[in-house]
Amino acid sequence: MKRINLLIFIMTVMIASSAMAAEAAHGGDFKDWAFKIINFAILVFIIVKFLGKPIKNYFAQRRELIERSIRESQEAKELAQKALQEVEEKLKLKDKEVQDILDTAKKIGEQEKLQIIQETEKIKEKILEQAKTNIEFEVKMAKDALRLEAAELAIQLSEQKLKEKITPEEQEKLLQESIKIIEGRKN
Give the per-residue pLDDT at 80.
93
Residue 66 pLDDT? 93
**Rounded (10°) angle between helices 2-25 and 30-46:** 160
Higher pLDDT, 15 or 126: 126
Give the CA angle between residues 149, 152, 157 to the nearest 5°: 120
Q: What is the pLDDT of residues 28-64, one digit of tens each?
A: 577 787 888 888 888 878 877 777 778 788 888 999 9
44 close to 9: Cβ distance less than 8 angstroms: yes
What's the pLDDT tens digit per position in 125-181? 999 999 899 999 999 998 888 888 888 888 788 777 777 777 778 778 877 887 888
The pLDDT value given to residue 152: 84
Task: Tell me what pLDDT residue 24 has.
Answer: 57
Q: What is the pLDDT of residues 73-89, one digit of tens each?
A: 999 999 999 999 999 99
pTM over 0.75, yes/no: no
Each residue of 14-53: b (16+ CB within 10 Å) or e? Answer: eebeeebeeeeeeeeeeeebeeebeebeeebeeebeeebe
CA distance 156 to 46: 157
Domain boundaries, the chain: 2-122
User: CB count, 10 Å around CB of 181?
Assistant: 9
H helices of the chain, in order, are 2-25, 30-46, 52-165, 168-186
Contacts with 24 (C-beta within 8 Å, 6 or more apart), sequence order: 33
The pLDDT of 101-116, averaged and rounded, is 92
